Chain A
Amino acid sequence: MPRISRNWLTLFAASALLFSACTSDDDDGSAADTAAAGDTAAPADTAPAGEEGGGAAGETLAAVQEADVVRCGTRDDLPGFATVDANGDHVGFDADFCRVIAAAVLGDATKVEFVDVATEDRFTALQSGEIDVLVRNTTWTATRDGTEGVTFLQPTFYDGQGMMVAADSGITDLAGLEGGVVCVAAGTTTEGNVATEFERLGLQVPEIQSFDDVNLLQQAFQEGRCDGWSSDRSQLTGLRSNYPDGPDALVILEGTFSKEPLAPGVRDGDSQWAQAVEWAVFATIQAEEFGITSENVDQEQESDNPSIRGFLGSEVEGDEGAAVLDPGLGLPTDFAFQVISQVGNYGEIYEEHITPLGLDRGTNALWTDGGLLYAPPYR
């Protein structure tokens, strides 16, 4: 009997804690009052930073420089974007953009701590400060921008969702999947997109089975647990090219049913850090536009073109004599040089990791080639 009443007490205490912790902010302190029985509620009220995000500006860049390492949220299971090789090193498109950021901010592309974050907790990892930047194949959407406390930057990859089926299944379009099962990765935008697309087409929505673990998803797909596998087309292409039964065993259906701009993300409220990361990405794009590669970057530093010289942090002749262009981003003036010499330009990164998957540049070509990649001028 005493045990029971004690349990009730526990539950009561826990619920009090729960609701005091979580009643919304507008009823200042009154909730804390009920939990703490009165006068000690003050600490709860003094703590919140009143101005939205005002206090946080500039913290991250300084913290990263002090720690001398960029904590980059990524993954280890997506061929082409981020996998781990036999030495335990992260390789791939996303992994290289982590290195780009480290090269720009710290001048050393190796100063990255790769933190593998799961799909479900990538935003919380960013929110809680576990990582400084998220480069993990993440789609920029309005809701995420709004509610996840994340600021998205220049997309590194313009993607769209597609559907993959087994070649011997006889399915040729989405209608063939009616009454079947579609597998998706849990906690992604793809989960909701499938149903939306089927409804848009007036088709019966198939059963949607989501998986936390891509490995488990692939196995389930292989064993016939599901008929369709829906994900970003780049992912599907990568998975298809690595499929154990050979790429020909799979077919990616025609049609893209969503826009998936994959963008790096940083915490809301720190525009200085956001600019630093964004310009690191721009540097790779601008370099490709200039034709600067990791091979020729040393020569280009001595280029006659003042734009290129300024971009690479060489001295530029100006009205008041030779000077190095410092746009005041908080980055070293030679950050672009470091990025290109240590990692490469956008095209090189793409060639190394994405082209082997069998994906051509498409929308990810430079604007000069009819693609979407466009960096603001560096001046």
Chain B
Amino acid sequence: MRVLRWVFQIAVVGAVVGLLLVLIGNVRSNSSELGIPTGYDYLDNPAGFPIADSDFNQRQPVRDAIRIGVINTLRVSLIGIVLATVLGTLIGLARLSQNWLLRNAARVYVEVIRNIPLLLIVIFAYAGIALVLFPRITEPWEPLGIAIISNRGVVVPWHDASGWGIVAVGAVAGVVAWLVARLRRRHADRTGTPARSGLWGGVAFAVVAAAGWLLVGADVTLPELAGRGTTGGIRMSPEFFAILFALVVYTASHIAEIVRGSIQAVPRGQAEAASALALSGFQRSWFVVLPQAFRIAVPPLGNQYLNLTKNSTLGSAVSYFELAQVTSISVANGAPAVPSYLLTLLIFLAISLVLSLVVNVVNRRLALVER
């Protein structure tokens, strides 16, 4: 019986491996017949296409294009995750509001948005909102004189100089904030006073960051109109706006349901006990209900973050140069299809992996707190 099992398993695995080998063989024979390379040497060839919203030009190698694609994917995903979480939480809380109007408005939002295809929202956000609602560059909106909004992008003031200084300052500020928060918690454990570690940490972060930023140079460039474009500041292209907007709006409708479900899953007794202890409404939510709800929400939230990251590939429908778009354009410009797409899949697999790793770590930490 044991032997039979192993024979069966080896037969199945052998069949799968054999199938893979046949497939690989097909790729090679089809490619060599057409004179298409099957290796990764093409990564060093000139890309042959420019990438909008970057200083990439068509003589740079494909490798660089892919790097820009990865960065753009990560950029829209990370910003999207943060914004979708905020919006989704707000809507999820609104779903539980005692205000009839707010509750039902949130319900309509969720039931409408999550039942229509994301791609539809993406294209509409571009062709129906970013291109049409935003004014032309010849007559831009200039709110407060510090930003320029047109359908060539939203330009806001930004720190001038290389990004690394700002990153270093942020890192230092983060570490200081963490230390302060930790200190406060220790102090609270000893004395029993409220820790307010978030407040202290936040203030510490702001102070250190501001000081560091002044130290680095504190150069801010204001956006200015220059002919048919703008100079200075940092620009969010309409393509980026469209995919970000769609991802946030769509994912928020799913996150809202997770938030609502998690809060409802916290046993009523918890809130009642908090009331019995004479905690205020805010304290009841913030210290009793929400932390427990968060624990329940982490795994499905992680799933949504993964989905958002994968959905960012729809940016290619509106010419946002994330990884999928870079891949498809480079294939159109002579990169071999099979290696290009396998590489892209692998990169996405790695991104998913890292994300699920982070979610798992958070999940485990939360689970430990329970004991």
Name A's B-contacting residues (CB within 8 A). 3-4, 7-8, 10-11, 14-15, 17-18, 20-25, 32, 35-36, 40-41, 43-49, 52-53, 55-56, 119-124, 127-128, 143-144, 146-149, 177-181, 186-188, 191-192, 194-195, 205, 207-213, 216, 219-220, 223-225, 227, 267-269
Contact = CB atoms under 8 A, between A and B. Distances in A.
Contact of B32 (A25, A120, A195): A25
Top 3 nearest A-B pairs (CB, nearest first) are: A187-B332, A149-B34, A24-B39
B138 interface: yes
B28 A44 contact: yes
Contacts of A36: 17, 20-21
A91 to B, nearest CB: 26
Interface of B: 14, 17-18, 20-30, 32-41, 48-50, 52-53, 57-58, 123, 126-127, 131-132, 136-138, 151-152, 226-229, 238-239, 316-319, 328-329, 331-334, 337-339, 342-343, 345-346, 349-350, 353, 356-357, 360
Given A147-B36, A212-B319, A225-B151, 8 more contacts: A22-B338, A24-B38, A40-B18, A44-B25, A120-B331, A127-B30, A127-B34, A223-B136
> Most chain-B Cβ atoms within 10 A of its Cβ — which of A10, A144, A212?
A212
14 contacts: A14-B349, A22-B39, A24-B39, A40-B14, A44-B28, A47-B22, A49-B29, A180-B229, A187-B329, A187-B332, A209-B52, A216-B126, A223-B136, A223-B151
Nearest to A224: B136
Contacts of A149: 33-36
A268 B35 contact: yes
Contacts of B52: 207-210
Contacts of A124: 331, 337
A246 to B, nearest CB: 19
Given A40-B17, A127-B30, A179-B228, A191 B25 contact: no
Nearest to B52: A209
Contacts of B152: 181, 224-225
Contacts of A179: 226-229
B34 A143 contact: no
Nearest to B335: A147
A223 B346 contact: no
A55 to B, nearest CB: 7
B317 A220 contact: no
A14 B351 CA distance: 14
A195 B51 CA distance: 11
B345 A14 contact: yes
B38 to A, nearest CB: 5
A48 B334 CA distance: 21
A140 to B, nearest CB: 14
A127 B34 CA distance: 7
Contacts of A7: 353, 356-357
Nearest to B321: A210
Contacts of A53: 33-35
B48 A191 contact: yes
A149 B335 CA distance: 12
Contact of B338 (A21, A55, A269): A21
Nearest to A143: B334
B38 A22 contact: yes
B99 to A, nearest CB: 39
Nearest to A10: B349
Contacts of A186: 49, 319, 329, 332
B315 to A, nearest CB: 11
Contacts of B357: 4, 7
A128 B331 CA distance: 14
Given A22-B338, A186-B329, A210 B21 contact: no
A225 B131 contact: yes
B29 A219 contact: no
A289 to B, nearest CB: 35
A178 B226 CA distance: 11
Contacts of A21: 23-24, 27, 38, 338-339, 342
B289 to A, nearest CB: 28
Contact of A216 (B53, B319, B329, B331): B319
A178 B227 contact: yes
Contacts of B356: 3-4, 7
Nearest to A119: B332
Given A40-B17, A191-B50, A224 B238 contact: no
Given A3-B360, A267-B34, A8 B319 contact: no
A223 B21 contact: no
Contacts of B27: 21
B21 A8 contact: no
A148 B24 CA distance: 19
Contacts of A147: 35-37, 334
A18 B343 contact: yes
B285 to A, nearest CB: 32
A195 B343 CA distance: 28
Contacts of B58: 191-192, 195
A41 B48 contact: no
A60 to B, nearest CB: 12
A268 B33 CA distance: 8
Given A147-B36, A208-B50, A223-B132, A14 B28 contact: no
Contacts of B49: 186-187, 191-192, 210
Contacts of A123: 332
B319 A24 contact: no
A189 B299 CA distance: 46
Given A11-B349, A144-B334, A147-B334, A43 B18 contact: yes
B342 A48 contact: no
Contacts of A148: 36, 334
A127 B36 contact: yes
Contacts of A11: 346, 349-350, 353
Contact of B24 (A8, A20, A269): A20
A379 to B, nearest CB: 33
A227 B136 CA distance: 11
A147 B334 CA distance: 6
Nearest to B50: A208
Nearest to A196: B58
Nearest to B37: A24
A48 B28 contact: yes
Among B17, B50, B346, residue most surrounded by chain A Cβ atoms (within 10 Å): B50
Nearest to A52: B35
Nearest to B134: A223
B335 to A, nearest CB: 9
